[in-house]
Structure 1
């Protein structure tokens, strides 16, 4: 049987996978304005890491954390999470915040590009939201000869990893994709064979990839 390599396109590395990170991160500011906010909202663990690198004062505020990885990152750095839905579906998330935090002033620390206009949605519902763009993502660039091997199982952990992959490589019909969730699946090309992780977690993606071996 031909050996199949598992490639992880996340910035993280994991045992039993070949790291092929598709995204790099860079800070866009050296200051966070906490004036007039009483809560901070994060929608990714990279936003938490970026905030920590800029100004650790964010930990003085209660936080809204979107997703288990974001929540874990906040708590690892000493922050306090008061609300954390298990997954990020923009409309559902915003309805929850409208219900629980309508009298609060949220500071949304976010990347340059977002897939859902959380600020606009909340403000239309009467929730006060300030947002500050604190970091951006860029695609890593690879030479063609570093393309995944024939028969590879490729783990896509976000829509961005798909878009960045195709900036460097072409899809081979021998490849199989593992996607982390519905939002990522929608960005696959029609001819891509794929399976979805049982949970929207990288460890679940790896388990699913191993089940294909």
Structure 2
């Protein structure tokens, strides 16, 4: 039974499916009413489809028919201990289970004078864009918003803003083509970082969308005193900037494993480094992929 295919029509934002554990789990960073609404939507839908499932204590949803025997619990405990021992590194301050942090940059918001009523829609390609624009004004919340991924969409909903679209492609150029039919003939504003790597703006403007862009945040490099990492480390790169900053500080060791959050970031590695691409564009998916690698 292909669970992923079954749940795709639900367009879930807060819940993700882990194929390995046959479990739907939610992002614990967003404990709000929207998670509860999505939980009820999932369970109602599965019940109507006559699909067997069970709800665990943490409100994750398991599809495995196997019961939780003592042996299985013991195996889970051993796996947890094994995962805790691994040297998995995130190059930012975001906390994700089983990962250690090496913050190589911080985010600086850039104050701008924006009249949001001039636009039919807003486009966000990261959570930082959402946080930055909300520090400027709350007026943006009234304008229809288009998010590149579920991660960005969750934050937009948390602000009770007008989320109308969450992308499935999750990569800059592909996202531009994905939203083209929705935005043709409209005037839109892309709220972005100082440095961008996709051809996103040109794609929209060349295809009947009037797209303006405003820089609302930038990354600032943080120098590190630590210059080496343990052998066999698994390092997660969440943007082209993290690739650039990492190689300013560290030398690559052949025992390391690089995990890239997506295809765009993967293009920025040196030729001698072949990254493994995460299944989804989220930090948790990156950590999950690192845990899979032997």
Following superposition, the deviation at residue 21 of structure 1 comes to 2.0
Q: 1:106-150 deviations in whole A, cap 9, x for unaligned?
A: 11111111112333322222212222111111222112x353222
Secondary structure class of the residue paired with 1:75: helix
TM-score by length of 1: 0.89
Q: Distance in 2 between the 1:198 and 1:36 partners?
A: 37
- Residues 119-198 of structure 1 aligned to structure 2 (within 5 Å): 119-143=201-225, 145-192=226-273, 194-198=275-279
Flag structure 1 segments of 5+ consecutive residues without an equivalent. none
CA contact (8 A) 1:22 1:139 kept: yes
Q: Distance in 1 between the 2:249 and 2:166 partners?
A: 35
Q: Distance in 1 between the 2:183 and 2:151 partners?
A: 22
Matched with 1:27 is 109
Q: Is the alpha carbon distance of 1:149 and 1:130 closer, same or farther for their aligned partners in structure 2, counting shifts above 3 Å?
A: same
RMSD: 2.0
TM-score by length of 2: 0.66
Following superposition, the deviation at residue 44 of structure 1 comes to 0.7
CA contact (8 A) 1:10 1:156 kept: no
Secondary structure class of the residue paired with 1:189: coil
Q: Distance in 2 between the 1:114 and 1:46 partners?
A: 13
Matched with 2:161 is 79
Higher relative contact order (CA 8 A, sep 6+): 1
How many matched pairs?
A: 211
Q: Distance in 1 between the 2:169 and 2:271 partners?
A: 26
Bigger radius of gyration: 2
